[in-house]
């Protein structure tokens, strides 16, 4: 298709994508009914304020998904931690004093922008969608007050297109607006005449719009008619009119997926894995509750003659029967085993929790009987177990978010001037990378520290035998590796000049001490020699 797309091209593509996603929507609807009921409007329309979760009698799936979302939020994008750090990709360059300071200051500035915007509230919705549906949609726009404004878009409105590499290169979002809302967002002069007329008459009729964000594959070529690598277009569907167009240097629509099968565009999720167990657990809960009701308030059997009806079953109720009658009112079930139902439910609940990684995230196996070291080891092991599953989150979510925010801040000149080394790298076309320092990332890097400590412990006996063995180890580099692995704040480390000054002063002091000792020894030797000479002269 030509770039930019025409409204007719976008609408034609939209209809095709809707058809392709129809089967997914049926699946999403079932997941939403049992795991995320507040978003159960994939199939059919819902009325505002309508009750949600009417099919639920057990909320295990809902709670496990919320626990997973909360854990991901705290582990990957905690607002109280510096969960990422910029890097050149070369540790030797990163360790240069001016480069390290610039990278640290810039990373903190980006984090402050994220925390002072609505990122933390919207990212929680992203994790909710990730756990339940496996696909989510976040848009990032510039904001005069917040610098960046984040919006978690409903998956119901989202349609995706991949390229041959499995990368999402087109994102479509379709929704409905009243004429008033459309005019407020896009301006009256940009609206089709029918919508302008509806606005001026105050009608509440709704109109369908589609927002299309796609990669400009002609960017940087002589045939390019658009100077941005990403293009955004808003189209009114009914009248096939473009109401807004914009260009972006970074991808403004981010669509992370939990996991993805080859050949599929939309992601797979823990909610999909847990859905069969959640549905069975829902049925078991309903059945077990009915059984419990029969035990607590059992059905009764009584003879067909001999009692004055109606039978009174309320507390302190009195029933009259004919004198001499031997038959009495008795419960039909007096040996029901509802405990078996609860045991079966506990097994299914455990399977749901496993699907959402609840036990690994909450680390219940590291109870109070464990030592602090054992709990720390369990934490690191669990984080390493989860790391492969969260790798896609870094690639499709965190890195694009940081890149987009950093680009906006850079164009607003919110960063300090680049050090000479970084300026040269930028001139050469090299980009900065991101190193994550969240709990999951640290657990992966802590293995380097463990290897260092085990190596040093193993060679310690040889160092005691021969001090020259220690010459094999670079103490300064080891210290920096350990500090970086533990996410130690770099402000607490001295720069190279300060270290050199301290070592020079120490060496000078040691040299002065040696000189003083030598002078003192020379004086003692001279005194001893003088005494010896005097003693010889006296004897002579």
- Identify the pLDDT of residue 540: 58
**Of the candidates 258, 254, 257, 236, which has an alpha carbon nearest to the alpha carbon of residue 245?**
236
**Of the candidates 328, 330, 335, 329, which has an alpha carbon nearest to the alpha carbon of residue 295?**
335
Q: What is the pLDDT of residues 313-365, one digit of tens each?
A: 777 778 777 777 667 777 776 666 777 778 888 888 999 998 998 877 764 54
**Of the candidates 434, 356, 441, 448, which has an alpha carbon nearest to the alpha carbon of residue 391?**
441
- In the 8-state DSSP scheme, what is residue 5? P
Residue found under tokens 């030598």 = 518
The DSSP annotation for 256-322 comes to -BSB--TT-SS-B-HHHHHHHHHHHHHHHHHHHHHHHHHHHS--EE--SSSBPSSPP-STT----B-
Helix (H) / strand (E) element for 248: namely strand 241-248
Give CA 222 to chain center in angstroms.
39
- Per DSSP, the chain holds a count of helices (H) and strands (E) of 16, 12
- Identify the pLDDT of residue 438: 63
The DSSP annotation for 32-67 comes to HHHT-GGG--SSS---TT----TT-S--HHHHHHHH
Q: What is the pLDDT of residues 221-278, one digit of tens each?
A: 776 677 899 999 999 999 999 999 999 999 999 999 999 988 899 999 999 999 999 9
Q: What is the pTM of this model?
A: 0.80
Give the 3-state secondary structure of 72-130.
HHHHHCCCCCCCEEEECCCHHHHCCHHHHHHHHHHHHHHHHHHHHCCHHHHHHHHHHHH
Point out the residues of the chain with pLDDT beneath 70: 1, 46-54, 223-224, 325-326, 333-336, 362-385, 387, 438-447, 487, 489-491, 533, 536-540
Give CA 520 to chain center in angstroms.
68
- Identify the pLDDT of residue 366: 44
Give dist(CA 76, CA 73) in Å, integer: 6
Instruction: Count Cβ neighbours within 10 Å for each residue of 239-248 and write b for 16 or more, e otherwise.
Output: eebbbeeeeb
- Identify the pLDDT of residue 321: 76
- Identify the pLDDT of residue 139: 96
């Amino acid at each position: 298709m030509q770039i930019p797309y025409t409204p007719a091209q976008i609408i034609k593509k939209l209809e095709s994508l809707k058809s392709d996603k129809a089967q997914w929507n049926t699946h999403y609807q079932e997941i939403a009914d049992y795991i995320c009921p507040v978003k159960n409007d994939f199939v059919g329309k819902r009325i505002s304020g309508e009750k949600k979760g009417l099919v639920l009698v057990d909320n295990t799936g809902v709670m496990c998904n919320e626990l997973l979302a909360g854990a991901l939020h705290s582990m990957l994008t905690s607002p109280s931690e510096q969960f990422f750090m910029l890097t050149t990709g070369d540790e030797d360059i990163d360790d240069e004093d001016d480069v390290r300071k610039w990278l640290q200051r810039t990373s903190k500035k980006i984090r402050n922008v994220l925390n002072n915007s609505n990122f933390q509230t919207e990212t929680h919705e992203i994790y909710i969608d990730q756990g339940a549906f496996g696909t989510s949609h976040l848009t990032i726009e510039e904001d005069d007050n917040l610098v960046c404004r984040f919006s978690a878009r409903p998956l119901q409105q989202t349609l995706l297109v991949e390229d041959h590499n499995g990368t999402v290169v087109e994102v479509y979002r379709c929704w409905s607006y009243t004429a008033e809302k459309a005019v407020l967002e896009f301006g009256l002069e940009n609206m089709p005449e029918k919508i302008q007329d509806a606005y001026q008459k105050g009608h509440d009729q709704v109109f369908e719009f589609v927002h299309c964000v796609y990669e400009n594959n002609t960017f940087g070529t002589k045939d390019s008619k658009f100077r941005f690598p990403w293009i955004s277009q808003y189209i009114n569907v009914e009248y096939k009119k473009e109401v807004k167009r914009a260009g972006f240097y970074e991808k403004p629509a981010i669509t992370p997926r939990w996991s993805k099968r080859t050949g599929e565009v939309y992601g797979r999720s823990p909610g999909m894995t847990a859905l069969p167990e959640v549905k069975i657990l829902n049925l078991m809960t309903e059945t077990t509750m009915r059984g419990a009701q029969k035990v607590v308030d059992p059905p009764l059997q009584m003879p067909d003659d001999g009692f004055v009806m109606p039978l009174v079953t309320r507390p302190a109720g009195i029933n009259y029967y004919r004198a001499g009658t031997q038959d009495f009112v008795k419960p039909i079930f007096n040996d029901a085993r509802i405990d078996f139902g609860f045991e079966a439910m506990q097994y299914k609940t455990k399977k749901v929790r496993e699907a959402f990684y609840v036990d690994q995230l909450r680390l219940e196996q590291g109870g109070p009987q464990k030592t602090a070291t054992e709990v720390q080891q369990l934490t690191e092991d669990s984080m390493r177990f989860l790391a492969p599953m969260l790798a896609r989150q870094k690639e499709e979510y965190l890195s694009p978010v940081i890149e987009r925010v950093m680009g906006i801040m850079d164009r607003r000149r919110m960063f300090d001037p680049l050090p000479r080394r970084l300026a040269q790298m930028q001139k050469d076309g090299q980009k900065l990378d991101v190193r994550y320092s969240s709990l999951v990332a640290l657990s992966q890097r802590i293995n380097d520290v463990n290897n260092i400590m085990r190596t040093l412990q193993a060679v310690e006996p040889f160092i005691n035998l021969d001090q020259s063995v220690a010459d094999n180890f670079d103490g300064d580099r080891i210290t920096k590796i350990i500090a970086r692995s533990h996410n130690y704040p770099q402000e607490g480390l001295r720069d190279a000049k300060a270290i050199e000054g301290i070592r020079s002063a120490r060496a000078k002091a040691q040299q002065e001490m040696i000189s003083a000792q030598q002078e003192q020894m020379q004086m003692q030797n001279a005194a001893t020699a003088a005494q010896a000479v005097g003693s010889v002269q006296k004897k002579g």
